Chains A and B, each alone.
Chain A
Amino acid sequence: MNRETAINTVLVAGLAAVPLIASAFDDPFIVTLATRIVIFALAGVGLNLALGYGGLVSFGHAAFFGLGGYAAGILASHALNYEPLATWPFEISGTTQMLVIWPIAMVVSAFAALVIGALSLRTSGVYFIMITLAFAQMIFFFAISWPAYGGEDGLSIYVRNQFPGMNTLDPTSFFLLACAILALALLFSSRLSASRFGLALKGARQNDQRLASVGIGPFRVRLTAFVISGMITGLAGALFADLNRFVSPSMLSWQTSGEIMVFVILGGVGRLFGPVAGAALFIILEHSVGPISEHWQFLLGILLLAVVLFARGGVIGVLAGGARHG
């Protein structure tokens, strides 16, 4: 077992221990906090696919996080208010079933990523960063100015959505559900990284002229990665809506995009468990230093600076040593 695998194992063990620690301290808030970590990590796993493997510095992933969240919120609010979503050409009602909500959240995010990606992937570098940001801001302002779903005030979900055979209102159950999804996403991400698609995507990041000259079109590869990336982040958004039982435009804000990016960079760009380490560090910092000093963001800034300047491989890179492979 190499060191990176060992670190990943420690992270998994840490998450597995959360319910035990919470019951030992008799503090269910620990579980809620850990669920936040898991959901943010999932959002980061999505971004890592684009940013880490594909080198696509998206500053607009809040769009997918928020759209996933609104998909969950809107579907639930219609179901809870007994208002059909549409009555023509046939009646479509809302739903409180996570198993229905998740695919819809993913399809909505995928569609948004397809449109945003198709337009923004024609550019690169700073332009790409700015265009993805611009699209996310557009959706943000749209959400704010659309009163039907709460506008600026956001949208409450009175009862957490349901999962068959499970009481999702129980914090530990919901935490384990989120963990299971994160595990699936990590498995998918690791398989994708080693797949033919992963080879092409990483090839495109390093040298798209080379990729094109052997006959693989970099644009389609990147666009596909961007769509998958948006889908995973959108799924995280749907879970986040259920965690808070509340959706608001802040999920779509550029700060959210920045935070998702921070998870990935802090943990280690292109490292499988980078977003997990990054999200954990972020949330732990926020909740341990945050209450003592308002300036915890300052500490975060210094940490981020240190990572960018001295440790491109992020926390995982520092602990595991060595360059990332491929």
Chain B
Amino acid sequence: MAEPVLAIEGLSKRFGAVIACDDVNLDLREGEIHALIGPNGAGKSTLIKQIAGEIASDAGTVHFAGVDISALDAVARARAGLARTFQVSSLAPEFSALQNVMLAVQSGAGGTFRFLGRALSDPALTEPAMAALSRAGLAERARMTASDLSHGERRQLEIAIALAMRPKAFLLDEPMAGMGPEGSKTLTGFLDGLREEAPILLVEHDMDAVFALADRVSVLVYGKVIATGGIDEIRADPQVREAYLGEEGP
């Protein structure tokens, strides 16, 4: 089998007495959606932050595209091809939707230290940015200020920004959160196709989406991965049922 795109080994993180991430092993393979589920406070977002390089891990390594990126910071990891979306939308609020995406295009295209050329009307930036917005279903909101977008549209903008980075892997932290049933369905359809472009590590509470999309599921409880496997395996796992699915009933 081919080497996984993303391989996490022995990752740990504690906040004082809280062990948010406890010796986690996880990988993400080409072409798959790997869902990461777990109750509130299980440490899912913490794990995403550790993979993205936003918080330092206490122990463990992260290999990405065959390279050990454990020592790289968040900027370098993004440049290496890791795109993440935030559980709580994190945008440049005064920028238009288009400008938000242009930042991501510019990161790849270079020229951040160019002081004179007009960026705002530069097709090298605007065209790929528009394309990403269209794919995320936000084309007609391109000129709208990010802070004026609806909650669901901000979620879509997060996706558009990640798309514009043309990453080698996506880390999506609850992309459906607060999208409403209609929005969730559309996004589910979109992510289904996206896995061909780059594999997705998907943190999600929406079980319909998880069961519709995931090739594999990992269950995180108190910072520990208690099970990893196909959907049926996970559904049947007694430990998972007790710790997590049991709360809602299958």
Among residues of A, the one whose C-beta sits closest to the C-beta of B53 is A212
Asked if A318 is at the interface (CB within 8 A of a chain B CB), the reply is no
Complex Cα distance A4/B112, Å? 27
> Shortest Cβ distance from A269 into chain B, in angstroms?
13
Asked if A214 is at the interface (CB within 8 A of a chain B CB), the reply is yes
How many A-B residue pairs have C-beta atoms within 8 angstroms? Tell me.
107
Asked if B90 is at the interface (CB within 8 A of a chain A CB), the reply is yes
**Pairwise interchain contact B112-A200, C-beta atoms closer than 8 A:** yes
Asked if A7 is at the interface (CB within 8 A of a chain B CB), the reply is no
Within 8 Å CB of A196, what residues of B? 106, 111-114, 117, 119, 122, 125
Of A191, A216, A217, A224, which is within 8 A of B103 by CB?
A216
Within 8 Å CB of B93, what residues of A? 206-207
Within 8 Å CB of A321, what residues of B? none
**Pairwise interchain contact B92-A206, C-beta atoms closer than 8 A:** yes
Asked if A197 is at the interface (CB within 8 A of a chain B CB), the reply is yes
**Pairwise interchain contact B115-A191, C-beta atoms closer than 8 A:** yes
Complex Cα distance A89/B59, Å? 53
Determine chain A's interface SS by DSSP, over half rule.
Answer: helix
**Pairwise interchain contact B75-A203, C-beta atoms closer than 8 A:** no
Of A216, A217, A224, which is within 8 A of B106 by CB?
A216
Within 8 A of A (CB), among B80-129: 83-84, 86, 90-95, 99-100, 102-104, 106-108, 111-120, 122, 125
Among residues of A, the one whose C-beta sits closest to the C-beta of B52 is A213
Complex Cα distance A209/B100, Å? 13
Asked if B161 is at the interface (CB within 8 A of a chain A CB), the reply is yes
Taking A206-B93, A207-B92 as contacts, is the C-beta distance between A199 and B118 under 8 angstroms? Answer: no
Complex Cα distance A202/B106, Å? 14
> Shortest Cβ distance from A213 into chain B, in angstroms?
6
Within 8 Å CB of B95, what residues of A? 202-203, 206, 326
Asked if B172 is at the interface (CB within 8 A of a chain A CB), the reply is no
**Pairwise interchain contact B114-A197, C-beta atoms closer than 8 A:** yes
**Pairwise interchain contact B103-A211, C-beta atoms closer than 8 A:** yes
Among residues of B, the one whose C-beta sits closest to the C-beta of A221 is B112
Complex Cα distance A228/B54, Å? 29
Taking A195-B119, A206-B95 as contacts, is the C-beta distance between A213 and B84 under 8 angstroms? Answer: yes
**Pairwise interchain contact A210-B99, C-beta atoms closer than 8 A:** no
Contact with B along A214-227 (1 / 0, CB 8 A): 11110001001000
Of B73, B100, B107, B116, which is within 8 A of A192 by CB?
B116
Contact with B along A149-180 (1 / 0, CB 8 A): 00000000000000000000000000000000
Within 8 Å CB of A314, what residues of B? none
Within 8 Å CB of A194, what residues of B? 118-120
> Shortest Cβ distance from A181 into chain B, in angstroms?
18
**Pairwise interchain contact B94-A202, C-beta atoms closer than 8 A:** yes
Asked if B165 is at the interface (CB within 8 A of a chain A CB), the reply is yes
Complex Cα distance A217/B75, Å? 6
Please give the residue numbers on chain B whose beta carbons come within 8 Å of chain A beta carbons, in ascending order. 52, 54, 73-76, 78-79, 83-84, 86, 90-95, 99-100, 102-104, 106-108, 111-120, 122, 125, 161, 165
User: A-B pairs with the 9 shortest C-beta distances?
Assistant: A215-B78, A206-B92, A215-B107, A215-B79, A214-B104, A196-B119, A217-B75, A196-B111, A214-B107
Please give the residue numbers on chain A whose beta carbons come within 8 Å of chain B beta carbons, in ascending order. 188, 191-192, 194-200, 202-203, 206-207, 209-217, 221, 224, 228, 323, 326
Q: List 24 A-B contacts (CB under 8 A).
A: A194-B118, A195-B119, A196-B112, A199-B102, A203-B95, A206-B94, A207-B90, A207-B91, A209-B90, A211-B92, A211-B103, A213-B54, A213-B84, A214-B78, A214-B103, A214-B104, A214-B107, A215-B75, A215-B104, A215-B108, A215-B165, A216-B75, A217-B75, A323-B94
